[in-house]
Homo-oligomer: A and B are copies of this chain.
Amino acid sequence: MAEQVETLRRTPLSRDRVLHAAVALADEAGIESLSMRKLAQELGVVPMALYKHVANKDELLDGMIDVVVGEIDPPVSDADWQPVVRRRILSAREALLRHPWAPIAIEARNQATPAILGYLNSMVGILRERGGFSTDLAHHVMHAMGSRMLGFSQELFDDSRRAGRSGPADPEPPAGFPPEAAAAFPHLAAIAGAAAHDDASVVGPGCDDQFEFEFALDLLLDGVERLRQQGWTST
Contact = CB atoms under 8 A, between A and B. Distances in A.
B110 A143 contact: no
Contacts of A8: none
A223 B195 CA distance: 21
A24 interface: no
Contacts of A45: none
Interface residues of A, number: 70
A110 B162 contact: yes
A188 B120 contact: yes
A168 interface: no
The DSSP consensus for interface residues of chain A is: helix
B215 A140 contact: yes
A219 B216 contact: no
Interface string A150-182: 100111111101100000000000000000010
Contact of A156 (B124, B147, B222): B147
A211 B144 CA distance: 10
Interface of A: 103-104, 106-108, 110-112, 114, 116-118, 120-122, 124-125, 128, 134-136, 138-140, 142-150, 153-159, 161-162, 181, 184-188, 190-196, 202-203, 207, 211-212, 215-216, 219-220, 222-224, 227, 234-235
24 contacts: A104-B104, A104-B107, A106-B156, A110-B158, A110-B162, A111-B157, A117-B181, A121-B185, A124-B187, A135-B190, A135-B191, A139-B195, A140-B215, A142-B203, A143-B203, A143-B207, A144-B215, A146-B203, A147-B156, A150-B156, A196-B235, A215-B234, A219-B224, A219-B227
List the 8 closest pairs (A to B, CB-CB), nearest first.
A135-B194, A144-B216, A124-B187, A146-B154, A139-B191, A143-B212, A121-B185, A219-B223
